[in-house]
Amino acid sequence: MEPPAGAAYTDTPAADLALQVRSLYRYYQTGTTVVRALDGVSFDVKVGEFCAIVGTSGSGKSTLLNQLAGLEPATAGIVRVFNRDIAALNERELVEFRLQNIGFIFQSFNLIKSLTALENVCLPLVFKGVNPSLRKKAATVLLQQLGLQNHAGHLPTQLSGGQQQRLGIARALIANPRIIYADEPTGNLDSKSAQETLKLLKKIAAAGNKTIIMVTHDEHLAQYADRIFKISDGKLVAVSRGTISDNVNKQ
């Protein structure tokens, strides 16, 4: 199945692509019914792009994000992340690949309530075996960059929704991932905090050459992205450019 116009980069070297998705299918069997959660999706994402996957509930956008992260197997098709076919990795290799390359930002923040802000941010470096003094230093720098330096000792429940999401972003960044997957990162935020979060993600992609893939149902907030992939009934039906082009370096 040919991708929509603007979905694939036919003249871009593989080394410059963060994602290559080709003819991706994911079917589920529910009783006698086959659900086509993904139905032949194909697209590319360049290194350093901020892309949004937009669709209504049940469109297949969350299933697509799970496929891109290797969280569930495809029925058919190819997903290459930094030119690695993730279907060819065994479970141990996949865990290691995620640890070294991928960061996650969640709608519900997924912070550990019994840990301070600083300790939450440090957590990915604990899994990587970084010594305590170095991970504390790295987390302190990130908290300062995200305006949370005065909240390092606070528990998540002592922070606002916007602050918790910035904390989640700091946690995703601390291991220096090459690609960040954001699953409805503004879903639990008020409109002002949502806009601030999107401006921050846009700034991170622009300044750090990091690739960001965001799933959202909000077509307005998706306009902060460089490109927008619209999903409907498991198909990629349109690709467009984001219309909000704030000078993020001034934010």
Q: At what angle do helices 161-173 and 191-208 cross, to 10 degrees?
A: 20
The CATH architecture annotation of domain 47-62+90-250 reads 3-Layer(aba) Sandwich (3.40)
Do residues 45 and 211 make contact, with C-beta atoms less than 8 angstroms apart?
A: yes
pLDDT mean values, one per 10 residues, the chain (251 residues): 86 95 94 93 96 95 94 95 96 93 93 97 93 96 95 97 95 95 93 93 88 95 96 96 71 40
Position 1 scores a pLDDT of 63
93: which residues sit within 8 A by CB, 6+ positions away? none
pTM of the shown model: 0.92
Compute how many other C-beta atoms are within 10 angstroms of the C-beta atom of residue 251: 10
Note the pLDDT tens digit of each residue in 113-152.
999 999 999 999 998 999 999 999 999 999 999 999 999 9
Position 156 scores a pLDDT of 96
Domains in the chain: boundaries: 47-62+90-250
Amino acid at 23: S
Position 247 scores a pLDDT of 54
CA distance 171 to 110: 10
Position 144 scores a pLDDT of 95
Position 209 scores a pLDDT of 82
